[in-house]
Chain A
Amino acid sequence: MNYILGVLTLILIYAILSLSLNLLIGYSGILSMAHAAVFGVGAYVTAILMERFGWSFIPALLVAMVAAGLISIAVALPSLRVSGDFFVVASFGTQFVLNDIYLNWSDVTGGAAGIPGIPPLDIFGWRITGQFSFVIVTAIFVALCYLAVRLLLRSPFGWNIEAVRQDEVATMASGRSPRNIKYMVSLVSGILAGVGGALFAVYMAYIDYSSFTLEMSIYFLTFVILGGVGTILGSFVGPLILVTVTELLTFLPLGSSAAILQQMVYGLILILLMFFRPQGILGRKL
């Protein structure tokens, strides 16, 4: 039972990440390879504030959101001025750099040892320790993120996002700056990734660099592509299927090559989807 609840919690946290990455890819057509690293910013900020400085969860979460949002927009600002290709390269670079920081800046991030002993989730003094109540709280956060994205997309600003997605030149012609809209989308996407990171930190109680690597970025990307690009609902389907598959794979007696085979499966899923259903399970045309 606890195992299933644990898997469910992971799926919910990954759904937030999937949602935030989907905003970027599906609604503004920019591909970020640094999403796991931005997620890591949220997790590390939360972990450090709670474990070292004894903050409670909510203020730590807010700082984590701001930090992840800032990192996200810092990647977008210089590179999107030029083109999407530059953004891809810059986001790869960011992924590597943040990884280096997580691994090497030992005074702050604990280096390879990571940060153990992160206090459990508390909401204004109410400590949430049980697995079940954690799932409920995570689900509430997922719902809040979902509502926020929905509201955003339905707002006048959301129409701008949709306009950029459909026709960048026409958006420009009607006096909106696609670039500014994309900056905003990457900011929001980063903030959401920060929420995911904060929840991840308190859920795991221990974090190290290995949860925020390039492989994880590709994993998140596969969520989005599988679930369907440009659909909010797809952001839930992707993690649901992929995390389940991953967990099932761990039951097979694969020994030491399990991780390698897992990666091969993700690669294969990406290729096959691009050939036969680029829009994913629920998605719109990519």
Chain B
Amino acid sequence: MLALQFFFNGLSSGSILVLLAIGFGLILATTGEFHMAHAATFVIGGFLGWLFSEAVGLNIYLSMVVVLLLGGVIGFLFNEVLYEPLRRRKASRLVILLASLGALTLLENVMALIFGINPLFFSKTALNNAVMQQPTVAGIQIVMFVGMVVLAAIAYLFLYNMPMGRAIRAVISSPFTSQVIGIETKKVQRAVYVLASALGCVAGMMMSIQSGTSPYNGTLFLINAAIAVLIGGIGSFWGAVVGALLLGLIQQYSILFFDTQWQTSITLLIFIIIILLRPSGLFSVQLRSKGV
């Protein structure tokens, strides 16, 4: 019984990680940029969701769609305001990472300043009520899983069937060759940031529906997602998905043996074991070693 309960909990928390990991992984693979500020997108998603569904009173699903679209706008702005100017200055990867970290610190504190540091809860929605007893499953957990499947499927179809998706994959497999055959790297970078941020923003909103908004919880989720990407293999779509779901499940089942407060330690341990055994990740096609 407990095992089944953990399965459902792991699947829903893993779904959040999947949405974050797909985006973070895409950005890392196409641009080589370690987009720390993705955690801020996640946090902002929670607050935007709260704003639309609680303060404005919009239907919760409609709010999710709005947050998804606004997430795309956030990604566009990240690319145009932060990263593109830095790229033009020929900033090193370390410089970009530090700027991203600065943006994360700035934005999460802007959110804290506007909305306060205490969690805001989604009271108007019935999604937190249980739809199933023993194991107890809340509506939002189902929304998380179904939402993840739908969004991941859309992202997959986009990457594998649309011209822009193909361009993205071309840049991932070889930035140089793709330029030679006339793919505009700038457009690809922009598209990747828009797509990733849309997914990350919705993930943040869904997480906040379950546990309330928080300006500072983004980093922990992002690092979990980053670990999922690295153990799945950078540049591998299925690697990110499977890595994130596995991580979500393992974190839940670890509760059987250890207190919940040691979840992060377990995650790090798994990360270290996997990179020791298979440094290129579980599903990786190739390993590109890039120093930060």
Check if B143 is an interface residue, CB within 8 A of chain A.
no
A269 and chain B: residue at smallest CB distance: B102
Q: Which residues of chain B are near A264, meaning CB under 8 Å?
A: 105-106, 109-110, 113
Q: Which of A82, A97, A270 contacts B101 (CB 8 A)?
A: A270
B276 and chain A: residue at smallest CB distance: A78
Q: Which A residues, 59 to 86, have Cβ-Cβ distances below 8 Å to chain B?
A: 78-79, 81-86
Least Cβ–Cβ distance between A95 and chain B, in angstroms: 9
Chain A contributes a number of interface residues (CB within 8 A of B) equal to 46
Binding site of B, secondary structure by majority: helix, strand, loop or mixed? Answer: helix
Contact B95 A278 (CB under 8 A): yes
Contact A85 B230 (CB under 8 A): yes
Q: Which residues of chain A are near B105, meaning CB under 8 Å?
A: 218, 263-264, 266-267, 270
Check if B264 is an interface residue, CB within 8 A of chain A.
yes
Contact B261 A260 (CB under 8 A): no
A80 and chain B: residue at smallest CB distance: B291
Check if B246 is an interface residue, CB within 8 A of chain A.
no
Check if A2 is an interface residue, CB within 8 A of chain B.
no
Contact A100 B261 (CB under 8 A): yes
Least Cβ–Cβ distance between B274 and chain A, in angstroms: 10
Contact A83 B227 (CB under 8 A): no
Most chain A CB neighbours (cut-off 10 Å) among B86, B89, B98 = B98
- Interface code B80-110, partner A: CB below 8 Å = 1, 0 otherwise? 0010011001011111111101111111111
Contact A274 B91 (CB under 8 A): yes
Q: Which of A87, A93, A278 contacts B268 (CB 8 A)?
A: A93
Contact B219 A87 (CB under 8 A): no
Contact B109 A263 (CB under 8 A): yes
Q: Which residues of chain B are near A100, meaning CB under 8 Å?
A: 261-262, 264-265
- Interface code A236-275, partner B: CB below 8 Å = 1, 0 otherwise? 0000000000000000000001001101101111110111
CA distance A86 to B279 in the complex (A): 9
CA distance A261 to B86 in the complex (A): 25
CA distance A220 to B109 in the complex (A): 18
Check if B7 is an interface residue, CB within 8 A of chain A.
no
State whether A83 and B106 are in contact (beta carbons under 8 Å apart), knowing that A96-B264, A97-B268, A260-B113 are contacts in the complex.
Answer: no
State whether A261 and B94 are in contact (beta carbons under 8 Å apart), knowing that A89-B230, A218-B105 are contacts in the complex.
Answer: no
Contact B99 A270 (CB under 8 A): yes
Number of chain B interface residues as a range: 35 or more
Q: Which residues of chain B are near A87, meaning CB under 8 Å?
A: 292
Check if A94 is an interface residue, CB within 8 A of chain B.
yes
Least Cβ–Cβ distance between B35 and chain A, in angstroms: 11
Check if A192 is an interface residue, CB within 8 A of chain B.
no
Check if A92 is an interface residue, CB within 8 A of chain B.
yes
Contact B99 A275 (CB under 8 A): yes
State whether A104 and B264 are in contact (beta carbons under 8 Å apart), knowing that A82-B279, A88-B97, A267-B103 are contacts in the complex.
Answer: no
Check if B157 is an interface residue, CB within 8 A of chain A.
no
Check if B34 is an interface residue, CB within 8 A of chain A.
yes
Check if A29 is an interface residue, CB within 8 A of chain B.
yes
Check if A168 is an interface residue, CB within 8 A of chain B.
yes
Contact B292 A31 (CB under 8 A): yes
Check if B142 is an interface residue, CB within 8 A of chain A.
no
Contact B223 A85 (CB under 8 A): no
Q: Which residues of chain B are near A103, meaning CB under 8 Å?
A: 261
Q: Which residues of chain B are near A273, meaning CB under 8 Å?
A: 98, 102
**18 A-B pairs (CB sep. < 8 Å):** A29-B292, A82-B279, A83-B289, A83-B291, A90-B271, A90-B272, A96-B220, A97-B265, A100-B264, A168-B291, A257-B113, A264-B109, A267-B107, A270-B99, A271-B106, A274-B99, A274-B102, A278-B92
**B residues with CB within 8 A of A:** 28, 34, 82, 85-86, 89, 91-99, 101-110, 112-113, 117, 219-220, 223, 226-227, 230, 234, 259, 261-262, 264-265, 267-268, 271-272, 275-276, 279, 287, 289-292
7 smallest CB-CB distances across A and B, nearest first, come from A270-B102, A84-B292, A267-B106, A267-B105, A274-B99, A93-B268, A271-B102
